[in-house]
Structures are given as C-alpha cells and as structure tokens.
Amino acid sequence: MSFREKYTVFPMLLPLGSKRRGGSKLDPGVKFLVAHDTGNPRSTARNNVSYFQRSCNEMSASAHLFVDDKEILECIPALTGPPEKAWHVLYNVTTDNQMFGYDANNAAIGVEYCYGSNIQADEAYNKYVWVLAYLCYKFGLDPANKIIGHCFLDPRRKTDPVTGLLQSRRTYDQLLKDVATEFAVCSGLATPGLNITKQAGTVEVTHTLNIRQGQPNTRVPIVQTVPPHARLSYTGWTNDGEKVLNISKWYKNAQGNFFWSGGVV
C-alpha cells in the first residue's frame, strides 16, 4: 500500500544536542500523535521554527512539525529522519500515560497548526489534515483512535488545537473525521461516498461564495468564486459535506461541483 504524497515536508532542523533537540530517539517508537496549534495567531511555520532555532538553548519546549498555508516544516525529525523526542506535553501531566500507556514526549509526534488573518485557512487546514493522515500511514496508526488534542491531555492549561481550528471555522471533531477520510483516500483504501438527494432548484448567494471541485468540503480546489446576489442552480444536495459553522448541507450543480448551503438563501 502506498500513500499519495500531496505535499512536501521540508526539514528545517534544530541544532542537535540543544535544549530543544536532545537527539534521543522515541522509545518505544511512535505510538500516537498529538494535535497542537501554536497559540500565536499570525505566526507562520517559518516564524515558529526560526524562533525555535534562535532560542534552542534557552528552553526545552519543542514540537516536530509546523504547518501553515505555504509550508510543512519539520524541526525535529519525524518524517524526514528517524523520529526523535520533542518536548510538547508536560511530563508531570499524566493523562497521556493513562490514555495510551506512554508519555507523549517519549512516544508521540507533535504537530502544530498555524492560523491567523495572514494565513489562508483552507490551505493550512488541508496541509494539517494531510500530514496527520500521512503520519498515521507512516507509523501504522489508526487515525480513528491514535490522534489526541493537546487540550485533552492538559485541559487545565491548554486549548489547542481547538482554539486554532475555531478561528478557521473548524471543530476538533471535524478534524478527526477529515483525517480519517484523508487517510482512506490517500492510501487508496476507500473513496468516501455521498448520499445525494436529487432535487433541482435555484438559490441566491448571500455573500461571496466558493464553488468547490467535485467534493463538498473546503479541502478541494475552488473552481469559481461567486459574488453576493448571484443566482445559482443546483441538481441535488447532501448533508454529508464538511461542517462549516455547524452546517453540513452542500448543493451540487450540473457540473458535479459543490457549494455550501450556509452561503445561500
């Protein structure tokens, strides 16, 4: 089985032997993934890794990968080399041990999501979903139960990745669903089906709306952007689309493309 490598993971490694990158291998290997966000709106993947490099001997906090709309950067080896330890969850918080039987710093890859007004949310999310799915493939993890948000491991202190996802109109539950779908599609295990109700009609666009290629989600290419007050025709609809603002209904047009029902009346 192979995996569709839609994106490139670029190594931008921290100095070996520094406080942030000690160089110890994950022991007993990669057992689960921790989903983070940076908690720093508008900071890009490169901003974060550059800061980690400059401060590599000032503190130990670290993560393996940073993802934004333009890049997937790896600063501690996970995919571009044998996985090493990163310090992305407090040792004295033991929820990870209770849930997975291992401490996250010893047995998990930490992936950071970048968000903010200067970052194109859809593309950053696409890359984030893909790299989580690829890590599951690479290390033989079930995406349904081997990904955990940092906020669930350390709920008294942390809200990531929920905070970052909410600022780009996503939920944590949607993230897990999308990673599972991406894993299935990119590994060739399945093509997700849609229940389409055949019904013709027209609607009016309420604000600028994107028509998406072939699938009812924001992770596929935009084929057209429609201005407010335009009229759109549809041939059917589905409730199996990506939830945006908690609305999963999408319309399908005659060309087989989709637009979100929350943007029309």
**pLDDT for the residue 247:** 93
Unique residue bearing structure tokens 């890049």: 71
CA distance 244 to 205: 16
- Kindly give the confidence (pLDDT) of every residue in the chain, 265 residues in length, as a single tens digit, with 9 standing for 90 and above: 689 999 999 999 999 999 999 999 998 899 999 999 999 999 999 999 999 999 999 999 999 999 999 999 999 999 999 999 999 999 999 999 999 999 999 999 999 999 999 999 999 999 999 999 999 999 999 998 999 999 999 999 999 999 999 988 899 999 998 998 899 888 877 555 678 999 999 999 999 999 998 889 887 778 899 999 999 999 999 998 888 898 999 999 999 899 999 999 9
**pLDDT for the residue 139:** 96
**pLDDT for the residue 220:** 78
What ranges in the chain are assigned the alpha helix state H? 45-54, 95-100, 104-107, 121-138, 150-153, 162-167, 172-186
DSSP single-letter state for residue 35: E
Q: What own/partner pairs with CB < 8 Å and gap ≥ 24 does 96-103 have?
A: 96/34, 96/148, 96/153, 99/148, 99/153, 100/31, 100/32, 100/148, 101/31, 102/28, 102/31, 102/32
CA distance 261 to 23: 49
| Residue pLDDT, tens place only, 43-92 | 999 999 999 999 999 999 999 999 999 999 999 999 999 999 999 999 99
Cβ pair 7, 127 in contact under 8 A: yes
Unique residue bearing structure tokens 């033989």: 140
Does a cis peptide bond (omega within 30 degrees of 0) precede residue 15?
A: no
**pLDDT for the residue 213:** 84
| Residue pLDDT, tens place only, 140-159 | 999 989 999 999 999 999 99
- Its pTM stands at 0.80
CA distance 121 to 215: 18
CA distance 126 to 218: 8
What structural domains does the chain harbor?
Answer: 9-186 (3.40.80.10), 197-263 (2.30.30.40)
**pLDDT for the residue 190:** 57
CA distance 49 to 52: 5
